[in-house]
Amino acid sequence: MRIPVFISAMQSLGFVFCVSLFLASVNVVISSSSSKKESTKQRAVFVFGDSLYDPGNNDFLNMSIDFKANFPPYGETFFKYPTGRFSDGRLISDFIAMHVNLSVWKPYLEPGKQQFIHGANFASGGASVLVDSNASWLNLERQLSLFMNVVNTLTQQLGNAEAKKLLTNAVYLFSIGGVDYAWFKVDYPNATESMKLEYVNWVIGNITNVIKEIYKVGGRRFAFQNIGPLGCLPEVRQDYNLSGIQCLEETLALATLHNNALSNVCRKLESQLSGFKYLIFDYYNSLLDRIKNFSKYGFKEGYKACCGSGLYHGINCGIGEYYLCTNPNDYLFWDGYHPTEHAYSQLEKLFWSGNPNVTWPLSMKQLFEFDEPEIGNLADDDLFMHA
């Protein structure tokens, strides 16, 4: 499957080497002086996802730099240097962490001893739900395995009772699945509607299995960012030579099938699993509305990316000759696949505060503020109910 990330020609630059050493040796702890911190219950947060949430895990994988974002101009707006994030600055997952008084995320794979009492971020650019044996990024199955390593570490450090309490009160944040569908049309050009539905059910089935595995060790609070409008992204529109406000309808339809199936399975799990709470943030429609009505949200450009080459600046951000805008805040998209920090900031506010049309059946703030279950009343067997 072709993965929508960007290829760098900057491997030889000493700058990249120095930045990699810097990030590997320094714990980056950044708080925002402009972000008003709220009084919210402290909980660990565990993040699973793809490039939309990756804080730089791919930098520490044995993979080609083709699937990394550790070269300029990535990171230029907030960090002033590339961190491995596929944007000009912070991501939705970073803003959520900062909302609960945590720092922006460190990559789970960053060398050095880490404490996991506040959670961990396993997201990896290019990550899919379905397993690709030839891929070196962290697919969802591998991210689950890393999470289970953290569970073992917490149990050893805190003891069974405290580890169980931490895991039961934690929030589990997901943004994954887009990679499985982004190039489906290319990989399966003759797919029938029944084949598409079967494929969606396969993806959702794998996500469901991961949810149940997390539930077994205590997970109760799950937050899902659904799949965005893949057919309207600058890279996709450029690849298919779409003009005006045209989007690739077949890819939009696949994303909608997935998002509907995700909502259905979450409702089903809520009825099956004792104590299971969830929310879904409608990233699809929130981003699509900004693409179609970008000026309404303060952007000057909603179709072209800030960084890249081609008709919509959809490819090669940071590679060879490419366009780079002077003010990323004017743009909805940073590169051909990923929004700018400014766009992420707007979207996270919807995720956090929500309304029934955008985030349901709870907002992230409500998910954090739910009272904890009585851990003492949870027998060990209860953690494995229905899973």
Residues labelled as active-site residues: 51, 335, 338
Q: Nearest Cα to 109, choosing from 94, 96, 122?
A: 122
Residue that is written with structure tokens 């002077």 in the block: 326
Beta-bridge partner residues of 339: 333
Q: Quote the CA–CA distance of 295 and 229 in Å, as a whole number.
A: 18
Identity at 89, one-letter amino acid code: G
Q: Which of 166, 142, 182 is nearest to 48 (CA)?
A: 142
Give helix 193-216 / helix 249-272 axis angle, nearest 10°. Answer: 40
- Beta-carbon contacts of 65 under 8 Å, excluding residues fewer than 6 positions away, are 7, 8, 10, 11, 71
State how beta strands 45-49 and 171-175 pair.
parallel
- Cα 15–chain centre separation: 27
For the chain, the helix, strand and coil percentages under 3-state DSSP, each to the nearest 5: 45, 10, 45
Amino acid at 43: R
Query: Taking a C-beta distance cutoff of 8 angstroms, is the pair 207, 262 a contact?
Result: yes
Give the pair of three-digit tokens for residue 274.
């004792």
Helix, strand, or coil (residue 250): helix
Are 375 and 43 in contact by the 8 Å Cβ rule? The answer is: no
d(CA 343, CA 366): 23
Q: Report residue 81 as tokens.
A: 């240097």
Burial of 53 from C-beta contacts in 10 A (0-12 / 13-18 / 19+) = buried
Q: How many CB atoms lie within 10 A of CB 199?
A: 19
Angle of helix 283-292 versus helix 249-272 axis, rounded to 10:
150
